[in-house]
Amino acid sequence: MTDLPDLPPYDPTSAESLADPFPEYARRRAGGCPIAPVESLEVPFWTLFGYDDIRSALLAPKTFSNRYGNTPVFQKSIGFFADAPTHTHFRAIFRKRLSPESLAALKPQVQALAERLLADMLAKGPLVELHDDFALPLPVKVVSILLGIPGEDYPRLKHWSDALMDNAFGKDNQAFLEVYQGVCAFFDAFLDERYATLAAAGIETPALEHIGTVLPDDWISDAICADYMGRKLTRDEQRIALMGLLVGGNETTTSLITNVMWRLLERPELWEQTKADPDRLIPVAIEESLRFDAPTLGTFRTTLCPVEVAGVEIDAKQKLMMAYGAANRDPKMFEDPETFRLDRDLKTVSRHLAFGAGSHSCPGAPLSRMEVGIVLRLFVQHMPQVALAGPAERSVGYNFWGRRSLPLCIG
């Protein structure tokens, strides 16, 4: 075991880190002790910066637990915020809509949505705002289809999603609770309506057979009708599930769309290469963007027992941030990690941790990849002369990395 290095405390909310967190990640990895305490927020925690340490922790849920939530704030063990086997059963309720077969059936709807949004954006040209005109609405509208809520609500849903993520990670617990209550009330209205429909049909106990017959075929009905370890979900479990699906279904994809276009257009030769060989390079560009610009810079686990991590003894019941953004640029794992490249081997670059690893890896990763693959092919086809039209502005939240604004000239 080694002592902590004599370095300034790590502050992910500093102006320098918010502008560009990656130089500090590199300094921490190179300093001989890729772990640091964070004491600048309402709740303290540790941050891990090395690929091997982070991946090992993610694959050891009996030591690094998810049962206290994936933020620095200790949360009640419920739903997605649990360990196996309860988490496994809970996740299974909602994962079926993200299976390869389900995504294949959904793909035509995603394609049609993307085409309509692109047509609307192109009509505004020659100067457009990629985030507001396209990258924001598409993923929210897609997740709205899966949830079973009107797609027209997307501005409000996106506002709530951003507010939850901005404040959930120890920044402002009171602000988080206020937004949380609003989102609960929103989903409660849909749940109450579904239960009223069942009651009007004389159904006292919802069952899977009622999905697609009495009730719509979507995630809200899953939350009502599915069996969970011999019982139905409680209202709190339903809320947690629907809220998690809302946030997880749009944040990463919105950032991935803006991030990948930002990097491809920063160096126009990369955009030219992508246009020349889209079938081969679009998948590489997506994975390289996830590696180079992880949309979620990290997630949290809680130690269940004393454990040595990166040479430092950590007590039980300590929160650790697994800094995906740092792991994905670890030179021990990736060659020339500080350069965005399209000549990487697809299998190798896909070892990034942008979607986590292990039993709690992001279940929506295939949906996100599908959406962005559709988007890039449309962009190559319909706006081949696109170029950056001004500086990009980053999204809010120290734990997230995307472009809140990306002005483009579409030619």
H or E element in which residue 309 lies: strand 307-309
Tracing tokens 């985030």 back to the chain, one arrives at 131
Q: What is the CA radius of gyration of the chain?
A: 21
- How do strand 127-129 and strand 307-309 relate by DSSP bridges? unpaired
- pLDDT reported for residue 168: 58
H or E element in which residue 257 lies: helix 251-266
pTM: 0.93
pLDDT tens, N- to C-terminus, the chain (411 residues): 345 545 567 999 999 999 999 999 999 999 878 999 998 887 889 999 999 999 999 999 999 999 998 888 888 888 888 888 999 999 999 999 999 999 999 999 999 999 999 999 999 989 999 999 999 999 999 999 999 988 777 777 777 777 766 655 555 567 677 778 888 898 999 999 999 999 999 999 999 999 999 999 999 999 999 999 999 999 999 998 998 888 877 788 999 999 999 999 999 999 999 999 999 999 999 999 999 999 999 999 999 999 999 989 999 999 999 999 999 999 999 999 999 999 999 999 999 999 999 989 999 999 999 999 999 999 999 999 999 999 999 987 888 899 999 999 997
**CATH for the stretch 15-409:** 1.10.630.10
Tracing tokens 């890729």 back to the chain, one arrives at 34
Question: How far is the C-alpha of 271 from the C-alpha of 260, rounded, in Å?
Answer: 10
Cβ atoms of 77 and 68 within 8 Å: the answer is yes
Tracing tokens 């609405």 back to the chain, one arrives at 137
